[in-house]
Structure 1
Amino acid sequence: MKFIDKNSTHEEFLSQQFVSFENVRFSYPPVEGDVDQEGNQIIPPVLLDHFTAVLPKGFVSLVGPNAVGKSTLLLLASGRLLPQEGCITLLGRDTATLDEITKNNIASFIYQNMEFDTEDILEDILHSVYDSGNFQGKHPALSGSFQGIHSSLQEDTSDLFDQIVRIFDLKPLFAHKLTGLSKGEMQRVILAFSLLYGSESIFMDEPLFALEQPHKHVALAYIKAYSRQLHITIYMAMHELELNRKYPDKVLLIYPNKNMDLGTPEEVLLPESLEKAYGVPAAMLKDAESLSRKALMEQYQAE
């Protein structure tokens, strides 16, 4: 069961250190058989070199062009990847020392394309996730109304499980196996898994790209309330600027040269900063977002 310090305000929560990078160097290992035209092994570039930063708690989105390193930063911060040099500290713990159980308890991770090898129906899996996680199968529902979510989805319920099932419209899928779900349905299910498990923090790599626009707003409004009320930190890579402007507490904008800006959406998502990051005029960024979503969908369909 997770106990929240009710005396800690949201502003105090946002001011606390979440993850720190100290003199970190990281590159992916060479891929066997990946050679250039002369037959020489291709050596992947160094993505982070002597990188030092301290990132806060809260609901934080990562923004930047494709291949800028958003996924890598999430994987390093969550302990799913380890640096070749330097130290990464997550919630006061060196990620290099975390065993798998501890790692999952303090940091869940939603990958872009996740698959599950099970024949169980969704209802059973949802209950299993809720029972086995930090909430141990019981936690009060979030309180209040959620801006941007239709009142029909906000009917009174006492338990978090029933609330999440309603918010993500999962009851019609209860008898289905995961292998029979569409990509959009699967993304709603995976979001529910992560929220029901209740890790101290959740990392999400483009978890919404297959959802219809109304479902994206519902998901983000609820995720924002979840983070604020339960003081659970959520880091999410998300390419749509409209959504990044509306929901996160903070935005981390990553430039191609690996420089970063961190602040509120109003402070960070300025036209001149976005043009510098994406290399295109601000008026064309909507087209760039569409291309990002198309690339994500094509990657999913190819797998």
Structure 2
Amino acid sequence: MTVPLLQTRDLAVGYGAAPVLSGITLKIAPGRITAIVGANACGKSTLLRSLARLLPPRRGSVTLDGVPVQRIAPRAFARRLGFLPQSPVAPEGITVLDLVSRGRHPHHGLFTRWSGADDAAVAHALEATGTADLAERDVTGLSGGQRQRVWIAMALAQETEILLLDEPTTFLDVSHQIEVLELLAALNRRRGTTVVMVLHELNLAARYADRILGIQDGGVHAVGTPDEVLTETHIREIFGLDSLVMPDPVSGRPMMVPRGALASARRRETR
């Protein structure tokens, strides 16, 4: 299977008079997991929405295998790229099974019937996200964490080559955050799915991402492996945070500890 290449060239994009991002030229590593990090309101979600062609470029381009994404037919694009926004809203009264099944819509044409392959894709997505027992529940009656896992199940049921997720661990406790990221890592290993996600937790980004993209002041500040991007210097420049970076004892990837937290811990130890 040929792994699709998603890239931007001199991209400028935004909402109001001034662009939020400009001069963005990058290639999303095909078949890898990329985490987008940066301070609040730096443009992380804006970049993701632009990659998903929800925001048209003011300048430059976003291309998939060399074709501008705006030129790709909507259904064909949705079969190749799935997008999970930060705060999706479910229709009133829809069940979990119905919502997850909507992930199969791009695979259906005017005369295409629901098939066994659709059933299998939905069942696998529900099972993988631990939401199979919620299938008949109303989505609006679920907890925040349950709803987030259901939305991820819908994205998985879409079975795309590329998956974009805006803060997929929102509303999840620590154990469910790990479960979701392990699920995405397994999807990447098994299918070669290209995963791009916005994450706030730097240590989780370091553990699960192959590449990290650091956004600052409307541009790309750093891009590379976790070891290359999550340095004390880059963290200070991107987040304005003094930190200590050391190897994670489990993964060997970089682990960040704010220096303020270290000082507080030492003061408690001396009491």
Q: TM-score range by the shorter chain?
A: 0.7 to 0.9
Deviation of 1:87 (Å) = 1.9
Match of 1:95 among 57, 65, 69: 69
3-state secondary structure, aligned to 1:20: strand
Match of 2:5 among 18, 21, 26: 18
Q: Is the 8 A contact 1:131 1:137 kept in 2?
A: no
> C-alpha deviations, 1:67-121, integer Å up to 9, x for none?
1111111111121111112222123321121232122122111111111215332
Q: Distance in 1 between matches of 2:43 and 2:218?
A: 10
Q: Is the 8 A contact 2:34 2:213 kept in 1?
A: yes
Query: Where does the alignment leave 5 or more consecutive residues of structure 2 unmatched?
Result: 109-113, 244-256, 262-271
3-state secondary structure, aligned to 1:96: helix
**What are the within-5 Å matches in structure 2 for residues 174-213 of structure 1?**
174-213=135-174
Q: Is the 8 A contact 1:122 1:175 kept in 2?
A: yes
Distance 1:55 1:286, change over 3 A: farther
Are 2:95 and 1:121 equivalent residues in the alignment? Answer: yes
**What are the within-5 Å matches in structure 2 for residues 237-256 of structure 1?**
237-256=198-217
Query: Where does the alignment leave 5 or more consecutive residues of structure 1 unmatched?
Result: 30-42, 140-158, 288-303
What amino acid does structure 1 have at the position aligned with 2:214?
L
Root mean square deviation of aligned Cα: 2.7
> C-alpha deviations, 1:167-216, integer Å up to 9, x for none?
32213312211111121111000111101111221111112120111111
What amino acid does structure 1 have at the position aligned with 2:60?
G
**What are the within-5 Å matches in structure 2 for residues 1-303 of structure 1?**
5=1, 18-29=5-16, 43=17, 45-57=18-30, 58-130=32-104, 133=107, 137-138=116-117, 161-256=122-217, 258-282=219-243, 283-284=257-258
Q: More strand by proportion, 1 or 2?
A: 2
What amino acid does structure 1 have at the position aligned with 2:177?
K
Distance 1:166 1:256, change over 3 A: same
Q: Is the 8 A contact 2:52 2:83 kept in 1?
A: yes
Q: TM-score, normalised by structure 1?
A: 0.71
Deviation of 1:234 (Å) = 1.1
3-state secondary structure, aligned to 1:239: coil
Q: Distance in 1 between matches of 2:105 and 2:169?
A: 25
Q: Is the 8 A contact 1:77 1:90 kept in 2?
A: no
3-state secondary structure, aligned to 1:56: coil
Of stretches 98-107 and 193-202 in structure 1, the one that deviates more from structure 2 is 98-107
What amino acid does structure 2 have at the position aligned with 1:102?
A
Distance 1:273 1:176, change over 3 A: same
Count of aligned residue pairs for this structure pair? 242
Q: TM-score, normalised by structure 2?
A: 0.79
Q: Is the 8 A contact 1:82 1:95 kept in 2?
A: no
Q: Is the 8 A contact 1:78 1:90 kept in 2?
A: no
